[in-house]
Amino acid sequence: MQIGRWNHQGGTSGANKSSRGSREGSTHRGSRSRSFSPSDFAAAGRPARGGRNFGPRGGRGRGRGGVGAFGQTEAEIAKFVNRAVVTTEEPVFVPEHKFTDFDINPRLKANIVAKGYELPTPIQDKAIPHVLHGQDVVGLAETGTGKTAAFLIPLIDKVMKQKDERVLVMAPTRELAVQIEKELAGFAKGLGFSGMVAVGGANITPQIAALRHNPTFVIGTPGRLKDLMERKALNLSTFGTVVLDEADRMLDMGFIDDMRFILAKMRKERHTLFFSATMSREIEGLIGDFLESPTVISVRTRDTSKNVDQDVVRVPRGTDKFEVLAEMLQDRDFSRVLVFGRTKYGVEKLSKALSRRHIHAESIHGDKTHGARLRALEAFKRGSVTVLVATDVAARGLDIPEVSHVVNYDLPSTYEDYVHRIGRTGRGIHKGKALTFIEG
């Protein structure tokens, strides 16, 4: 079964029709969508094994994703369909700087070069000079555009010049906090200071012990940071700089009260950096409350990446959605697949069901321990497992190389969640595919 090679309705050649099967599909405003049927798999050289794979299962489906999901109407479904753009005429971004041009410590500059960095991304090119000058910055950019380096590089330079300076970084998820700390370790190698991670789901005792050594960078999730503060293990009066990374996601996850509590304990005069992928009314309110006359830098280009080929998978009512997914994942083109579900229970159940089919799968969700989540993520990055089933905790900020497909097994809650989910594929110069299951 070659998902990416199935033909659009009305746009097929005779040879393709005979070898791959025609693709039914309802159209809406010129978009195309895919429908699965047993004949699709038989035409692809993989017989549909009677009703066992695609027959009715007595109510396995839940309609279109449940109450509160995005994708309930044909107008919303049309947003899940978008052909990847292939062009040689797109303007190429030309940065104003090279990393060697920035007025930063030579040893830091050497570490940047050693990591293979030469030309900044747009958000790095625009934000780094303002951060170096001590200005509050609001950086608006899609995930995967290099936001972490955009704040780490100038802040590492800052703490090298101001020996007593300490930096707090807030991130919405444990995985993103760990990823930021790993980036920090690479940029700050041999520079004489340390960072630590403070996240929930992990033993708090080693974190309390690490804080006794006064690490220069503390990177954590709001809930655990607040817990450490209430235990008197973290005193933010000594921190003059704070970064709120993926601020819109922290807002979505209900961290606003914790964020306000944490910032209230910092010095009133502080250096604040605020990075977000979206700009909602709520985000504008946070900016007004948290930052002083910030420089706003927006390098957002479009909602979804031009490198992501997007389509829907229509699953007829009464057809077993799991069987469709399991059959799909047998295809070799699905080499590294991120599957999104809505609930922790559903994600865990789906991962185990795939494993029983001898599809190497792991899961990430809020009920797993911090260590288990990290092990699952690392196994997925290494290629030890080909499928990672996750809730939206994996939709933001994570740098997972060469994800071939994102599959929205359950519909996202909002279109913004959809954008962030599919942003895990098609990163950099790579192409990716996103498929969204539509039931009924």
| Per-residue pLDDT tens over the stretch 377-399 | 889 988 889 999 998 877 766 77
pLDDT at 339 over 90: yes
92 found inside a domain:
no
Within this chain, do residues 160 and 268 fall inside the same structural domain, yes or no? Answer: yes
Residue 431 inside a domain? The answer is yes
> Are 277 and 330 within one domain?
no
* Final residue in a domain of this structure, among 298, 318, 349: 298
User: Residue 25 falls within a domain, yes or no?
Assistant: yes
Number of domains the chain is built from: 2
pLDDT of residue 76: 83
Residue 168 belongs to domain spanning: 99-298
Where a domain ends, among 298, 321, 337? 298
Per-residue pLDDT at 223? 94
- 268: Cβ–Cβ under 8 A, 6 or more apart, which residues? none
Asked if residue 417 has pLDDT above 70, the reply is yes
Residue pLDDT, tens place only, 198-226:
999 889 999 999 999 999 999 999 999 99
Among candidate residues 298, 323, 341, the one where a domain is terminated: 298
Residues ≥6 apart with Cβ < 8 Å to 103 = 132
What is the pLDDT, as a whole number, of residue 429? 66
Which pLDDT does position 224 carry in this prediction?
96
pLDDT at 66: 58
For residues 82 and 166, membership in a common domain is answered with: no
Model pLDDT, residue 57: 34
pLDDT tens column, 21-78: 333 333 333 333 444 443 343 333 333 333 323 333 333 334 445 557 888 888 888 8
Q: What is the mean pLDDT of the chain?
A: 80
Note whether 73 and 103 are same-domain residues.
Answer: no
pLDDT over 70 percentage in the chain: 79
93 found inside a domain? no
* CATH code of residue 11: 3.40.50.300
pLDDT, tens digit, for every residue of 135-168? 999 998 876 778 999 999 999 999 999 989 999 9
Compare 350 and 399 and report the one with higher pLDDT.
350
Asked if residue 275 and residue 174 are part of one domain, the reply reads: yes
pLDDT of 111 reads 95
Determine the pLDDT at residue 128.
96
Q: Are residues 126 and 258 both part of a single domain?
A: yes
Confidence of residue 11 (pLDDT cuts 50, 70, 90): very low
In a domain, 43, yes or no: yes
Residues 245 and 120 in one domain: yes
34 & 52 share domain? yes
Q: Is residue 38 part of a domain?
A: yes
pLDDT digits (tens, 9 = 90+) for 352-382: 999 999 999 999 988 888 888 888 988 998 8
Same domain, 289 and 186: yes
Q: Which pLDDT tens digit goes with each residue over 75-100?
A: 888 878 886 654 434 456 677 888 98
Model confidence at 288: pLDDT above 80: yes
Q: Please check whether residues 149 and 237 belong to one and the same domain.
A: yes
Query: Which residue did the predictor score with more confidence, 26 or 185?
Result: 185
Lowest mean pLDDT among 21-25, 85-89, 266-270, 427-431: 21-25
- Over residues 92-133, the pLDDT tens digits come to 667 788 898 999 999 999 999 999 898 999 999 999 999 999
Residue that wins the pLDDT comparison between 83 and 337: 337
Query: Do 291 and 158 belong to one domain?
Result: yes
Q: Give the pLDDT of residue 218.
A: 98
Asked if 24 and 55 sit in the same domain, the reply is: yes
Average pLDDT over residues 222-236: 96
pLDDT(2) > 60: no
Q: What is the mean pLDDT of residues 406-427?
A: 86
